[in-house]
Structure 1
Amino acid sequence: MELVINNLSKTYANGTKALQNITLNIPTGMFGLLGPNGAGKSTLMRTIATLQDADEGSITLGNTDLLKQKDEIRKVLGYLPQEFSLYPKVSAEFLLNHLAVLKGLSNKKQRKEVVEALLHKTNLYNHRKKNLGGFSGGMKQRFGIAQALLSNPKLIIVDEPTAGLDPAERNRFYNLLSELGENTVVILSTHIVEDVKELCTNMAIINQGQVLLKGNPIQAIEELEGMIYQKTIEKSELNTYKQEFAVIAEKFIQGKPVIHILDKSNPGNGFKAIPADLEHVYFSNIFGRLQN
């Protein structure tokens, strides 16, 4: 099963070009989607989730046209948006059962088996009688995945799923997604670059509605090896270095800026070569200009 997006475009009424000829082939497995705020990620997610229409282009899942056969796609779609609400005064078991009815699971015995299996899968079974208003952020996200799996989906979309989660909850959540990705197309939109490196076999970086890079995260990192340099400078020198070099990242350590630059050859001048990582790939596509 493969999701194929071809020349997808969307312009809003205010003139914002949210998507510009987006073309991606997304196979079974975990696919990472990276980009800054306003890059078009959420527009792309909502379009794939059949929540809004594109102006041009096509999206197919196998032999199904997502833009024309929305009801068919919704039967095999699991969607976890960036923000979602839960009824705080009902239990996880009650709401999941209710949502299963809405999904068409009319057989009571079958529905009970599915609900219990999903509560076990998301490690919520021991909390099934607890009202959702008392759930932690991680538990709510796991419940979100449980409801997304009610239809045994072939396509799962998760938009910024770990915002606000502590590291332990984030790991549990991603372990679950990785397991699902063995047999399903899972699209993960996130700001956490390192998570894409660890979880995804394929990725894309988009900005201003355009695809800047697509491919394997590890291969993308390897292509930058030997071109990333670091130097600690004075704060007053920062603008000068930005004008002279392709500064793709900066951070303050003990009150002084540490800059990372992208350069094909050793720039000298006190710069030290460092290993490339996926953040360098990301920033070099968003901000970088390669020095000769």
Structure 2
Amino acid sequence: MQLQIRNLSKTYSNGVVALDNISLTIPSGMFGLLGPNGAGKSTLMRTLATLQECDSGAVFFGELDVLDEKDEIRRLLGYLPQDFGLYPKVTAYELLDHFAVLKGLANRARRREIVDGLLQQTNLFDVRHQRLGGFSGGMRQRFGIAQALLGDPKLIIVDEPTAGLDPQERVRFHNLLSDIGDERTVLLSTHIVSDVADLCANMAIINKGHLLLHGPTQQLIDDISCKIWARFVEKKDLASFQQRHAVISTRLLSGRTLIHVYSDADPGDGFEEAIGDLEDVYFATIAGRHRAAAAS
């Protein structure tokens, strides 16, 4: 089922506009919501998860009104928030079993079958009797996915799930998300570009409450592929290049400063055409360089 967001707006009491007339269609499968910290991602996630009210707008999941039919939506929803608190002295099995009871799984044998299956799926079965306080960050996140999968949800929302994970845990978590995204709508909110590049066939970029860009991930990369130019510069010359060119990113590579420039034509000055990637899409969009081209 598709998730339809129509003209969603939210302004906090301190005057911060978290969402400004957001309209977006999210198809089934993995969908990436990309943006910097403070972009409005978590506000949107909490609103879609029925945990926060918006000021105006509408959201539909299939035929269900997300904002008005909260109880019905919650039966179809799995949610992993950015800050997922756990009881450190409780074992993984005990807490997941408790969550299963809260989900309405009253039959003990059936509940045990489901809990064991989810612990197997998230590669936590062998540590099911270990207290959660001894879990690593990656194990905690995988447990969070296990609880989000209770009740076989059709809509899963995960907010910044890989922040702080080491590379090995990130790969393990990516594989888990990929496995669960085949027959569901999975909304992945993150500021980590590679998470979206690795996992999501469709995506959107938001910043300061505004929807800047959305579409199939590969198409967005293809659209920018001939507009990215790169060269190494001396650190002392960086400011001068930033004044003369539309520099969208700088990074150190083997101790040297590599800059990427957004330009429809060869900018000269020693630049060479580069193969654009999703990071270039992101930086060019956030910088306001790629917005007009994307909308046309």
| TM-score, reference length from structure 2 | 0.95
Q: Give the aligned residue type for 1:268.
A: G
- Preserved contact between residue 29 and residue 186 of structure 1 (Cα < 8 Å): yes
Partner of 1:289: 289
- Preserved contact between residue 262 and residue 288 of structure 1 (Cα < 8 Å): no
- Preserved contact between residue 76 and residue 152 of structure 1 (Cα < 8 Å): yes
Q: CA deviation at 1:236?
A: 2.8
SS at match of 2:224: coil
Q: Give the aligned residue type for 1:195.
A: D
> How far apart, CA to CA, are the structure 1 residues paired with 2:253 and 2:284?
21
> How far apart, CA to CA, are the structure 2 residues paired with 1:92 and 1:256?
46
Q: CA deviation at 1:288?
A: 4.4
Q: Give the aligned residue type for 1:214.
A: H
Partner of 2:210: 210
Cα separation, partners in 2 of 1:29 and 1:254, compared to 1, 3 Å: closer
Partner of 1:240: 240
Q: Give the aligned residue type for 1:71.
A: D
Q: CA deviation at 1:255?
A: 5.0
Alignment RMSD: 1.5
Q: CA deviation at 1:187?
A: 0.4
CA deviation digits over 1:57-113, x for unaligned, max 9? 001111111100111111111100111111111111111111111111111111111
Partner of 2:223: 223
Q: CA deviation at 1:212?
A: 0.6
Partner of 2:294: none
Unaligned runs of at least 5 residues, structure 2: 291-296
Q: CA deviation at 1:256?
A: 4.4
Q: Give the aligned residue type for 1:23.
A: S
1:162 aligns with 2:162: yes
- Preserved contact between residue 248 and residue 288 of structure 1 (Cα < 8 Å): no
> How far apart, CA to CA, are the structure 2 residues paired with 1:255 and 1:119?
44
Partner of 2:114: 114
Q: CA deviation at 1:206?
A: 0.3
CA deviation digits over 1:101-148, x for unaligned, max 9? 111111111111111111111111111111111111111111000111
1:92 aligns with 2:70: no
What aligned pairs does 1:137-152 form with structure 2 within 5 A after superposition? 137-152=137-152
SS at match of 1:176: helix
- Preserved contact between residue 76 and residue 153 of structure 1 (Cα < 8 Å): yes
Q: Give the aligned residue type for 1:45.
A: M
Q: Give the aligned residue type for 1:238.
A: L
Partner of 1:130: 130
> How far apart, CA to CA, are the structure 1 residues paired with 2:254 and 2:102?
56
> How far apart, CA to CA, are the structure 2 residues paired with 1:112 and 1:223?
49
> How far apart, CA to CA, are the structure 2 residues paired with 1:23 and 1:153?
24
> How far apart, CA to CA, are the structure 2 residues paired with 1:126 and 1:108?
21
| TM-score, reference length from structure 1 | 0.96
> How far apart, CA to CA, are the structure 2 residues paired with 1:134 and 1:280?
39
> How far apart, CA to CA, are the structure 2 residues paired with 1:25 and 1:254?
41
1:180 aligns with 2:171: no
- Preserved contact between residue 246 and residue 288 of structure 1 (Cα < 8 Å): no
Q: Give the aligned residue type for 1:56.
A: S
SS at match of 1:223: helix
Unaligned runs of at least 5 residues, structure 1: none
Cα separation, partners in 2 of 1:242 and 1:163, compared to 1, 3 Å: same
Partner of 2:59: 59
SS at match of 1:158: strand
Partner of 2:293: none
Partner of 1:17: 17
